[in-house]
Amino acid sequence: MPRSSATSAASYTCLPGERAFLQARLRGAIESQLDWRGAGLQCEGGARPDGRGIRVSMAGPLQDSRRLRFVFGIAATPGQSGAGPWPTNVTVLVEGENRVYATLGDERCSVDSLLQQPLSASGDERVYRVALRGYCVDAATALGGDDKLYVERFDLAAIARYEKEP
């Protein structure tokens, strides 16, 4: 059944207050210490399209008015929590600039702590707060170029929506 426009709009809303956040240290093609919190964030999450793990996405501002979107693909099942390592693919998009940096696989980054807390369940959907901490041991490479982006550490909390299992 297709989602209503109200549900689709809600999927981009992060957790209330400062319960949603992203902290990350970037080096290389982008130099920044990110500390995103509050109303300016967009986040969403759910099962990976191939069904092999979860995906969490978060977007927010750089200091120079550009926006970044992070996509974390984590080899964990919906609702699963605990200590890692959880192999993780990281993709960073510079919105409006057609620049994408990707680790191109989940062997370069890892989540070492994952907590998925149920928030609600209704109809065909379960909603979770997903909090994770991780790191990358190698760079994300620019697609179609040679630039490298190092995501040294990342900590985040976002929302994820999973379909209820039958």
Q: How confident is the model at residue 66 (pLDDT cuts 50, 70, 90)?
A: confident
Q: What is the DSSP letter of 6?
A: H
- Show the CA angle centred on residue 51, arms to residues 48 and 46, nearest 5°: 35
Q: How far is CA 90 from CA 3, 69, 104, 109, 120, in A?
A: 27, 11, 8, 7, 27
Strand residues in the chain grouped as ranges (E): 21-28, 32-37, 42-47, 54-61, 67-74, 82-94, 99-102, 109-122, 125-136, 140-142, 148-163
* pLDDT on residue 33: 94
pLDDT at 9: 39
Residue with the bigger pLDDT between 120 and 30: it is 30
Average pLDDT, the chain: 86
Is the torsion defined by CA of 109, 111, 117, 121 positive or negative? positive
Residue 156 has pLDDT above 90, yes or no: yes
pLDDT at residue 21 in the model: 93
pTM: 0.87
2 pLDDT band (50/70/90 cuts)?
A: very low
- Report the share of the chain in percent with pLDDT over 90: 61
Encoded tokens for 92: 């960073």
Q: Where are the domains of the chain?
A: 5-163
CA angle 31, 37, 40 (to 5 degrees): 90
Distance CA 131, CA 1 (A): 29
Q: How far is it, in rounded angstroms, from Cα 21 to Cα 132?
A: 11
